Amino acid sequence: VQLQASGGGLAQPGESLRLSCTTSGSTLDSYAIGWIRQAPGKEREGVSLIRLGDGRTYHRDSVKGRFTISRETKNTVSLQMNNLKFEDTAVYYCATANYGSTLEIGDWWWDFGPWGLGTLVTVSS
């Protein structure tokens, strides 16, 4: 299942943005949904993840206390990003996820399904 990320934009440091991850028509039924980002010239990195069965969440250390991932509806997962920093600037993608070895989020390694075009978040003063 390919998911679509949306909600990116321009924000100043300290401001907030809310990203959405949706699947058209069908219910999200994967083990987990993860957010991944890629900044210009950098490797892709895992950001936040939610296990759909029990709602347990995982975050990379640099976003803990600032980002919240939650399931909004049967086919939407959101990423609330508060107190944005310059280093949060990146293209954000969402994808289905399961335990694996591709990217680390919250001390666990995950594999991801196909991700779509992503949504650009730019933090600038």
HSE-CB at 18 with a 13 A cutoff on CA atoms is: 6
The SS3 assignment for 88 reads helix
Least confident range of 13-17, 26-30, 85-89: 26-30
pLDDT category of residue 2 using cuts at 50, 70 and 90: confident
Average pLDDT, the chain: 94
State mean pLDDT over 56-84.
96
β partners of residue 24: none
β partners of residue 93: 36
Q: What pLDDT does residue 14 have?
A: 98
With 80 as the cut, is the pLDDT of residue 24 above it? no
Each residue's pLDDT tens digit, 44-68: 999 999 999 999 999 999 999 999 9
Placement of tokens 């086919």 in the chain: 75
Q: What pLDDT does residue 25 have?
A: 63
Q: Going by C-beta distance under 8 Å and a sequence separation of 6 or more, which residues neighbour residue 65?
A: none
